[in-house]
Chains A and B, each alone.
Chain A
Amino acid sequence: MLHWFKKDESHLPEFWQKYSARFDKNQKEQLISETTFVVLDTETTGFDQEKDRILSIGCVKVKNNKLLVADSFEIYLKQEKFNPDTVEIHGLIKHERFETISEEKALQLFLKYIKNSVLVAHHAGFDINMINAAMKRNHLPKLKNRVLDTGVLYRKTRIISNFIDQHKTYSLDEVALAYNIDLKDRHTAIGDAFITAIAFLKILGRLKRKKLKELYKK
């Protein structure tokens, strides 16, 4: 019955169909220790979802408190649009020494890498929106993965006290400082993804929750 409501994806490229086919089961009951998380960060030319472009994507995979260095993901994109204002933040310069690839190729590799893992990012909304905007430009649907935001999760680790602002947003720098994480390679996509991953592991250690769905609860 359900497939009636499923959108017809036959016109979409094969890599999308392969990616999409993995989302067949409900992940909610899954144990955190058995879930693959992809912790990611993007560097962009700016903060405008429409006008700005992704310059690089960095990801690391985390499962059962473990991160395999060989299984990290680091790509640099060829972008015609170039915003000199943001170069300073992340030091990425167009056609710098890195090997760069097209946006389409990048998305293809990215989907192949993330599969149906749960995506994790600091202030995840921004990164996911930027990637979805790129997907749209390349005539692809939105990402289907579940998403967790370490900014939101970090807030859950703090005690409920009248002396703490319960709605404060915490920057990655603040979280790293609180957890004593080295800020090496800060402001590169892969560097920030690694810092976020360590923060994520420490948050999971503190929250002590068992099932994936419990991370989405208050």
Chain B
Amino acid sequence: MKNSIAHRIADFLKDFPPFNFLNADELLNISEESEVLYIDKGNILFNEGESVHAFFYIVHKGAIQLQKFQNEQYETLDTCDEGDIFGLRPLFAEENYIMNAIAEEESIVYGIPIKQFKPLTESNKKVGNFLIQSFATNTRNPYAREDKGKLFFGNQVIEPVSNSPLFELQPAPIIKKIVTTSPETSIKTAAQLMSKRKVGSILVTKNDVPVGILTDEDFRDSIATGEYSIDNTVDKIMSFPVICYPKTVTIAQAQITMMKHNINHICITEDGTPNTRVTGILSEHDIMVSQGNSPSVLMKAIQRSHSTKELKKIRNKINLLLGGYIQNNIPLTHISKLIFELNDATIKRVISRCVVKLQQEPPVKFAWLSMGSQGRKEQLLQTDQDNAIIFADPPEGKLEETRDYFLQLATKVNKRLMIVGYEYCPADMMAKNPRWCLSLSEWKEQVAKWIKEPGPDEILLSNIFFDYDITYGDSLLSNSLSDYILDLIENYPKFLSVMGSNALRNPSPLGFFRQFLVEQDGEKKDFFDLKKRGLQPLTESARLLILSYKIKNISNTAERFDRLAQLEPKNKELFEGCSYASKALLKFRTKQGLQNRDSGRFIDLSKLNKEDKMKLKRAFKSIKALQDLIKMRFETANVI
């Protein structure tokens, strides 16, 4: 019988080592006996000590973490994502697994049959070598070590496994997608190409053999000084000869060479001499990126990224950075600003790439709004995406055509953000939903309805949409909408009352005997809902108060309270307490979330220590006082 699924599997495998060394028949043969596995987030594929499976594995979608129980805790040795292989032990030894494989996110994994595959490792030297190297270094791909190294993780530094070589001795992070030009190209054309591809250097090649290299520095030294005109050919100003190495160059070798020759780039050729074909390029910048996760390096990496997959990898590094910051008790104001900027840059990068992909300029100006926690600059952990588009009013009769363009754009952006790690909003509050992709006039009409007739749904929507932050595009549009909202609220005071009673619907979480109120039913019975009972009342109250003062463009909850403390000296202490509480609870949630690999929303109180409990209680006292103030001020009793 024909087996199309096997073809489908083979078609995926063929792009990844060691499968790229196999011929079509061999690939199909192993694909026919393969298996497809679904592993839900947090589930385990195999355990340390378990007897080996008849398969080894390659990640198709998702991410699998390899962990080992060391020093009385599980330490992550490696994270495998799309195309990475793992679980190689049964290929080499009949022993039990020596590590755990656990799904870091929902994953689809292909199992490759050992029985069919093993003969190939013996007959095909390349396959065998690749696997031996992978197995020996305990990593899935010895050629892709760029994610490894000194990950910033506070006290919990993820050391390379004990028997793996030092970072400096590892293979260097080589970029294979290189930008090249010929010696006869004009300097201007080369510069245009470099700026289009956002690279700092371009290789000059002749028949695929490197003859020179042109970097940003050459432009400064030779063009900006007036020495050469931009109409000259590149061979006039390029640096040569090019320093070449084979792809096995280690980071240490590369660093020494760069220092010695005072250069920032090394060219990788087939045999390491300047006489063979170019296969890649290695830059000082990329070594820096692979070495550390400093925010500025990550920021640059985001702005230079050329694929969604790359952005996803950067996101994982951002999470490590976040973990390190929280562990080292760095002030939350600082952490949230940094993480917000990195998130913001990621979203901006995705949008600008999608605009290019559409191959058509936006028909009118638009603004991409991030709402909810990202809008409030409080999104530390990756949560759902909430976003919307405002576009300028198009010419008469062009409304639907214009909307179509933005819906197309939004569909692309939403999808890529999902791949990067922001899950789709379960209630479809995303720009790709035609309800939230509106012209400025339509938005005004929409918010007017919410403000004039505020029912429960309208308040809920206002709560989500009124915390927007413009991520991309024209801020005149978002400002114009903000002004409109504030004016309208002044004329419809009832809106604030309803919003006030809504903010009070979840009472302060301290019960009569000062016990915590826990959830009464559902999957999370007996857990404490930190969002519903802690963060949400604070957020909603802050929004309400700041709207009543007609203040726009501050959407962060803590910052709103700080502002309120300035505006009302007599309540200064209360608002400062609330500002502190919102930061403390957010930090608490982030810590919990990192620990449990979830959104951090539900807390198992029995696992908290005394100090944490005290901290929470202090925060809730402020919430109680705040809710009393709102009750008085907005006369909510009359509305309910």
A: residues with CB less than 8 A from B are 58, 60, 65-70, 72-75, 98-99, 158-159, 161-164, 177-178, 180, 184-185, 188, 190-191, 194, 197-198, 201-202, 204-205
B8 engages A185 (CB within 8 Å): yes
Q: Does chain A have a CB within 8 A of B488? A: no
A72 engages B38 (CB within 8 Å): no
Listed stretches B131-139, B205-213, B419-427, B569-577; interface member: B419-427
A-B contact pairs, 19 of them (CB 8 A): A58-B4, A66-B37, A68-B35, A69-B6, A69-B9, A69-B32, A69-B33, A69-B34, A69-B36, A70-B3, A70-B33, A163-B428, A163-B429, A163-B435, A184-B11, A190-B4, A191-B8, A194-B5, A201-B108
A60 engages B37 (CB within 8 Å): no
A163 engages B427 (CB within 8 Å): yes
Minimum CB–CB distance from B113 to chain A (whole Å) comes to: 9
Q: Does chain A have a CB within 8 A of B624? A: no
Q: Does chain A have a CB within 8 A of B40? A: yes
A67 contacts which of B32, B35, B419, B461 (Cβ < 8 Å)? B35
B5 engages A190 (CB within 8 Å): yes
Chain B residues 361 to 416 lying within 8 A of chain A, measured CB to CB, are 415
Minimum CB–CB distance from B311 to chain A (whole Å) comes to: 15
Minimum CB–CB distance from B43 to chain A (whole Å) comes to: 8
Contact with A along B1-31 (1 / 0, CB 8 A): 1111110110100000000000000000001
Given contacts A58-B4, A72-B4, 12 further A-B contacts (CB under 8 A): A67-B35, A67-B37, A68-B35, A69-B31, A99-B2, A158-B426, A162-B457, A164-B427, A180-B418, A180-B419, A198-B36, A202-B38
Contact with A along B562-593 (1 / 0, CB 8 A): 00000000000000000000000000000000
Residues of A within 8 A of B621 (CB): none
For the complex of A and B, list the 4 residue pairs with the smallest distance between their C-beta atoms, beginning with the closest: A201-B38, A67-B36, A205-B40, A65-B38
Q: Does chain A have a CB within 8 A of B339? A: no
Q: Does chain A have a CB within 8 A of B106? A: yes
Residues of A within 8 A of B34 (CB): 69
B106 engages A159 (CB within 8 Å): no
Minimum CB–CB distance from A43 to chain B (whole Å) comes to: 12
Minimum CB–CB distance from A52 to chain B (whole Å) comes to: 23
Dominant secondary structure of chain B at its interface with chain A: mixed
Question: Roughly how many angstroms separate A184 CA and B5 CA in the complex, as a whole number?
Answer: 11
A198 engages B108 (CB within 8 Å): yes
Residues of A within 8 A of B418 (CB): 180
Residues of A within 8 A of B249 (CB): none
Question: Roughly how many angstroms separate A140 CA and B327 CA in the complex, as a whole number?
Answer: 68
Question: Roughly how many angstroms separate A198 CA and B106 CA in the complex, as a whole number?
Answer: 12
Question: Roughly how many angstroms separate A131 CA and B39 CA in the complex, as a whole number?
Answer: 32
- A157 (CB) vs chain B CBs: closest residue: B426
Residues of B within 8 A of A69 (CB): 3, 5-6, 9, 31-36
Residues of A within 8 A of B11 (CB): 184
Most buried by B among A73, A201, A202: A201
Interface size class of B (residues with CB under 8 A): 20 to 34
Residues of A within 8 A of B3 (CB): 69-70, 72, 74
Total residue contacts A-B, CB cutoff 8 A: 82
A60 engages B5 (CB within 8 Å): yes
Residues of B within 8 A of A178 (CB): 424
Q: Does chain A have a CB within 8 A of B631? A: no
Question: Roughly how many angstroms separate A17 CA and B214 CA in the complex, as a whole number?
Answer: 77
Tell me whether A191 and B32 are in contact in the complex, defined as CB-CB below 8 angstroms, given that A158-B426, A177-B415, A180-B415 are known contacts.
no
Minimum CB–CB distance from B306 to chain A (whole Å) comes to: 20
Question: Roughly how many angstroms separate A205 CA and B105 CA in the complex, as a whole number?
Answer: 12
Question: Roughly how many angstroms separate A137 CA and B539 CA in the complex, as a whole number?
Answer: 65
Minimum CB–CB distance from B339 to chain A (whole Å) comes to: 24
Q: Does chain A have a CB within 8 A of B61? A: yes
Residues of B within 8 A of A177 (CB): 415
Tell me whether A73 and B427 are in contact in the complex, defined as CB-CB below 8 angstroms, given that A66-B36, A67-B36 are known contacts.
no
Most buried by A among B4, B424, B426, B457: B4
Question: Roughly how many angstroms separate A107 CA and B71 CA in the complex, as a whole number?
Answer: 59
Minimum CB–CB distance from B385 to chain A (whole Å) comes to: 13
- A198 (CB) vs chain B CBs: closest residue: B108
Chain B residues 51 to 109 lying within 8 A of chain A, measured CB to CB, are 61, 106, 108
Question: Roughly how many angstroms separate A194 CA and B110 CA in the complex, as a whole number?
Answer: 14
B35 engages A66 (CB within 8 Å): yes
Tell me whether A184 and B427 are in contact in the complex, defined as CB-CB below 8 angstroms, given that A67-B35, A68-B35, A205-B40 are known contacts.
no
A180 contacts which of B8, B9, B61, B461 (Cβ < 8 Å)? B61
Residues of B within 8 A of A70 (CB): 3, 32-33
Minimum CB–CB distance from B409 to chain A (whole Å) comes to: 15
B38 engages A205 (CB within 8 Å): yes
Question: Roughly how many angstroms separate A175 CA and B567 CA in the complex, as a whole number?
Answer: 50
B33 engages A191 (CB within 8 Å): no
A184 engages B36 (CB within 8 Å): no
A65 engages B39 (CB within 8 Å): yes
A98 contacts which of B2, B106, B415, B461 (Cβ < 8 Å)? B2
Residues of B within 8 A of A74 (CB): 1-5
Most buried by A among B2, B11, B34: B2
Minimum CB–CB distance from B82 to chain A (whole Å) comes to: 11
Question: Roughly how many angstroms separate A136 CA and B457 CA in the complex, as a whole number?
Answer: 51
Question: Roughly how many angstroms separate A45 CA and B426 CA in the complex, as a whole number?
Answer: 37
Tell me whether A184 and B8 are in contact in the complex, defined as CB-CB below 8 angstroms, given that A99-B2, A161-B426 are known contacts.
yes
Residues of A within 8 A of B33 (CB): 69-70
Question: Roughly how many angstroms separate A188 CA and B427 CA in the complex, as a whole number?
Answer: 32
- A68 (CB) vs chain B CBs: closest residue: B35
B426 engages A159 (CB within 8 Å): yes
A205 engages B426 (CB within 8 Å): no
A202 contacts which of B4, B106, B427 (Cβ < 8 Å)? B106
Question: Roughly how many angstroms separate A180 CA and B308 CA in the complex, as a whole number?
Answer: 13
B4 contacts which of A66, A180, A191 (Cβ < 8 Å)? A191
A194 contacts which of B8, B106, B419, B426 (Cβ < 8 Å)? B8
Residues of B within 8 A of A194 (CB): 5, 8
Question: Roughly how many angstroms separate A185 CA and B12 CA in the complex, as a whole number?
Answer: 13
Residues of B within 8 A of A163 (CB): 427-429, 435, 457, 461
Question: Roughly how many angstroms separate A72 CA and B108 CA in the complex, as a whole number?
Answer: 18
Minimum CB–CB distance from A165 to chain B (whole Å) comes to: 10
Tell me whether A161 and B427 are in contact in the complex, defined as CB-CB below 8 angstroms, given that A177-B415, A180-B61, A194-B8 are known contacts.
yes
Minimum CB–CB distance from A100 to chain B (whole Å) comes to: 11
Residues of A within 8 A of B8 (CB): 184-185, 191, 194
Contact with A along B450-472 (1 / 0, CB 8 A): 00000001000100000000000
Question: Roughly how many angstroms separate A99 CA and B2 CA in the complex, as a whole number?
Answer: 9
- B106 (CB) vs chain A CBs: closest residue: A205
Question: Roughly how many angstroms separate A98 CA and B5 CA in the complex, as a whole number?
Answer: 15
Residues of B within 8 A of A198 (CB): 36, 38, 108
Question: Roughly how many angstroms separate A66 CA and B43 CA in the complex, as a whole number?
Answer: 14
Residues of A within 8 A of B428 (CB): 163-164
Most buried by A among B32, B34, B426: B426
Residues of B within 8 A of A180 (CB): 61, 415, 418-419
Residues of B within 8 A of A190 (CB): 4-5
